[in-house]
Amino acid sequence: GTSDPFVEIRSPSEKPKRTTVAKKTISPRWQESFVFFLSDLSSPVLFHMYHSSLLGNNFLGEVTIVPKDLVHNKLVDNFFMLRHRTKEKKTNCGEIRLRLKYVETKIIQLQAYDALLDLVMEPDFTVIKSLGEVTSEKEAVATILTNIFSTKGRLEALLTHLTQVEIGNQVESATLFRGNSLTTKCVDVSMKLVGQKYLEKTIGPHINLIYSVQPDIELDPSKLKPGANAKKCLQALNELCEKVCNSIFNSVDNCPMQMRAVFHALQQQVSEKFPNEPECRYTAVAGFLFLRFFCAAILGPKLFFIAPEHPAKKVARTLTLIAKVVQNLANLSDFGPKEPHMKQMNPFISTNMTRLKNFIDSVSTIPPGANPGNQPPIFLEKECYLL
């Protein structure tokens, strides 16, 4: 018979990474690439193969690679035998082809980067401004800067400055934070850095249930399957959107204080810049918290580590419909003639508009004596080297 295999890769220094699931095959081909930063070359990197199942993943075998056994900068392209976990079982479970390359980088001690750090962290952020203007790799630079400033306890100051400058340069509120600038990338990366557990706890259970149940929901008449019940599809979508929004609206206390501090500053900045546009205080925050965080995760659960694989076609369509509704709600906007079939969800948007505004106001408030919370460990020497 066939299986639905995927591979989970584990290293001691980073979160596990997974391939997609290869459906109904005995000869899977992934052709996916992964990069790991390793501080201890004697610690093994484990490749675990599983069969994906709704009742629990079944272990198929593993390969162990010790980086110090590889030759520096030399590509290894071989088949490796899959083994059982226990030493007692030496059964051959098949083979997996891996292409491996180990590149060694000599990272000097942190003290050697003192001058660089002083330059980057100057109070007027002159170097940051220049980097944003010249770099073509804004996401990579944003990731490095976010990690450095987070380690130094100045992430809030960086993000507040960047958003303030971008708001100050904006003429119209309608295009605020719509581009992929260094500012938007830094806020995106920071939300992923400190908000992963928050995201998993808030919408993770709903995503996992949709993956499991695989509802077949469609509102577009041209895409409805013969015999499909349009009213039941509408009811099912309303119920799913209600559950997702309830979890989000009730999640204020779980939102990391680092995110709430940024949203607090953001609301104040846009209110001062656009005093005659009261809705802007909501759409500015929603542009990050919903468009770039919640809705992005709903559309791409694997990219946000909520699901082990990309969604199947039916699941992807359901998630897309939910994301459309939630995003329109966050934009304080009804569906119009562009997507007439989605107008059926306008009553849901109208009903939840006040709840959305209350949520954004609450999540943009910093409680007295709030603890900034913990952050994932960051190897500062590596970030300085990459910069």
pLDDT at 325 (0 to 100): 96
The residue that leads in pLDDT, 137 or 105, is: 137
The answer to whether 181 touches 287, Cβ cutoff 8 Å, is: no
Expressed in angstroms, the distance from the first to the final Cα of the chain is: 50
3-state SS, one letter per residue, for 107-137: CCCHHHHHHHHHHHCCCCCHHHHHHHHHCCC
The phi and psi torsions of 78 (rounded to 5 degrees) equal: -140, 165
The residue that leads in pLDDT, 142 or 13, is: 142
CA distances 159 to 22, 187, 274, Å, are: 40, 7, 20
pLDDT at 219 (0 to 100): 93
pLDDT band for 87, please (50, 70, 90 cuts): low
The phi and psi torsions of 17 (rounded to 5 degrees) equal: -125, 150
pLDDT at 320 (0 to 100): 95
The residue that leads in pLDDT, 133 or 378, is: 133
Residue 372: pLDDT above 70?
A: no
Alpha-carbon gap, residue 74 to 103, rounded angstroms = 8
- What residues does 306 pair with on adjacent strands? none
Q: Tens digits of per-residue pLDDT, 323-343?
A: 999 999 999 999 999 999 999
Q: Which residues contact 349 (CB under 8 A, 6 or more apart)?
A: 325, 328, 329, 333, 334, 335
CA 151 to centroid of chain Cα atoms: 20
3-state SS, one letter per residue, for the chain: CCECEEEEEEECCEEEEECCCCCCECCCCCCCCCCCCCCCCCCCEEEEEEECCCCCCEEEEEEEECHHHCCECCCEEEEEECECCCCCCCCCCCEEEEEECECCCCCCCHHHHHHHHHHHCCCCCHHHHHHHHHCCCHHHHHHHHHHHHHHCCCHHHHHHHHHHHHHHCCCCHHHCCCCCCHHHHHHHHHHHHHHHHHHHHHHHHHHHHHHHHCCCCCCCCCCCCCCCCHHHHHHHHHHHHHHHHHHHHCCHHHCCHHHHHHHHHHHHHHHHHCCCCCCHHHHHHHHHHHHHHHHHHHHCCCCCCCCCCCCCHHHHHHHHHHHHHHHHHHCCCCCCCCCHHHHHHHHHHHHHHHHHHHHHHHHCCCCCCCCCCCCCCCCHHHHHHHC
Q: Tens digits of per-residue pLDDT, 156-206?
A: 888 888 888 888 888 788 777 777 888 889 889 889 888 889 999 999 999
CA 89 to centroid of chain Cα atoms: 39
Q: Tens digits of per-residue pLDDT, 212-258?
A: 899 999 999 989 888 889 999 999 999 999 999 999 999 999 999 98
pLDDT at 251 (0 to 100): 96
Strands 5-11 and 14-18 turn out to be antiparallel
- What residues does 95 pair with on adjacent strands? 81
Residue 380: pLDDT above 60?
A: yes
pLDDT averaged over the chain?
Answer: 87
The phi and psi torsions of 10 (rounded to 5 degrees) equal: -120, 130
pLDDT at 370 (0 to 100): 64
Q: Tens digits of per-residue pLDDT, 93-127?
A: 788 999 998 887 777 777 888 888 888 888 888 88
Could you give the percent of the chain with pLDDT greater than 70? Answer: 95
The answer to whether 138 touches 132, Cβ cutoff 8 Å, is: yes
**Most trustworthy range by pLDDT among 52-66, 111-125, 276-290:** 276-290
